[in-house]
Amino acid sequence: MPPALDLTLLRHRGDPVTSLLVTDIGELVTNDPQRSAAGQPADVARLGIVRDAAVIVEAGQIAWIGSADHAPQADSQRSVAGRTVIPGFVDSHTHLVFAGDRAGEFAARMAGTAYDGGGIATTVAATRSASDEELRALLSARMAELRRQGTTTVEIKSGYGLSIEHELRLLRLAREVSPHVTFLGAHVVPAEYAADRAAYVDLVTGPMLAAVVEQGAAAYLDVFCEPRSAHAFTEEEAWAILLAGRAAGLGLRVHGNQLGPGPGVRLACELGAASVDHCTYLDDADVEALAESGTVATLLPGVEFSTRHPYPDARRLIDAGARVALATDCNPGTCFTSSMPFVIALAVRELRMTPAEALYAATAGSAATLGARGRIAVGEPAELTVLDAPSHVHLAYRPGVSIASVLLD
């Protein structure tokens, strides 16, 4: 007998609720290790794979998971014909609200010009001069592009406004499309403050932060801590900015250790940041701090690909016990890809992560930095991505091929 299905908890306010049975799933990745068959290596066991599976979705949530042979009836049914279903990708680091194009800068970099963070000013100028309608249309197209590649959850940063008015505008536009919004007034020091950096730090930590908090415009604050870049923030400046954000009740994120060894990782761990992103240049103390803290190391290998920099050492982090996430860092300067499958393929090929480690890092790993689970479990949001493939390994095995898409739209 199939198990009885109790959906009463999911029915509310008398709404007509319809259930959907997604069936004939060849490989279902749940990220719930309790569902794994015995005898698998640890990285695969953590994916909680169920074969020949089915899932029932009701009211936007997972209501049942199990074997396709024992699935209860539902109001409607959809077969995925032996394909793979995984938790939707969680892209926990993007800069999606911007105008302008920096293809010329990319071409120059590929011809040998070094990246130092200075090109951000070009995007700030283009973004400030764009209308709300123009930015909204650009953002909407980018969100559609993400979903076409299987991303269901996205974090979006401001950081191309760099004035109270323009930062608030970008945060407002971001919140129209995602609840996971991050205030990045401390992206770079804008040109008009180049002669008085302290005044800009005072603005970010004072009236700009106060306006963000008063409007409930962001859940997180981020800072580009990179003493090697003349445009980004020093240790002392980043410390002041992060402390102000924490005191204001925002969660913390840090861009750190991207261009060389630096203080970003240590600051993030000491201040309890949800995530420190890039982590390209780490010393032993950084790795130890990440292994011992709750701060997630978010790796963004699309940036190293697009800037021709050395890749971060994922194996060293994983072997030390640090928590690792993957995201795109989709932005017009250093990495203009919105493809999590591409990032996974890079993580496997260049960072030497296993396909299972990379998929986990791109779903549950990145979700953890946003207070979400990134798993397929009863009661969780039904954020499902289907792969036109018999297993998750194809994400890295078939680089550049569009096999992932959001299942329910």
Residues making contact with Zn ion (CB under 5 A) = 329
Q: Name the minimum Å distance from CB 103 to Zn ion.
A: 19
**Is the CB of 26 or the CB of 161 nearer to Zn ion?**
161
Q: How far is the CB of 120 from Zn ion (least distance, A)?
A: 10
- At its nearest, how many Å lie between Zn ion and the CB of residue 255? 5
Shortest distance (Å) from residue 101 CB to Zn ion: 18
| Closest CB to Zn ion among residues 87, 302 | 302
Decide whether 178 or 391 has the Cβ nearer to Zn ion.
178
Q: How near is the Cβ of 361 to Zn ion at its closest, in Å?
A: 17
Q: Which CB sits closer to Zn ion, 306 or 354?
A: 306
Complex with Zn ion: residue 237 or 329, whichever CB lies closer: 329
Closest residue to Zn ion, judged by C-beta, is 329
Smallest distance, Zn ion to C-beta of residue 95, A: 6
Q: In the complex with Zn ion, which residue's Cβ is closer, 226 or 237?
A: 226
Q: Judged by CB, which is closer to Zn ion: 167, or 329?
A: 329
Q: How far is the CB of 200 from Zn ion (least distance, A)?
A: 19
Contact 117, 349 (CB under 8 A): no
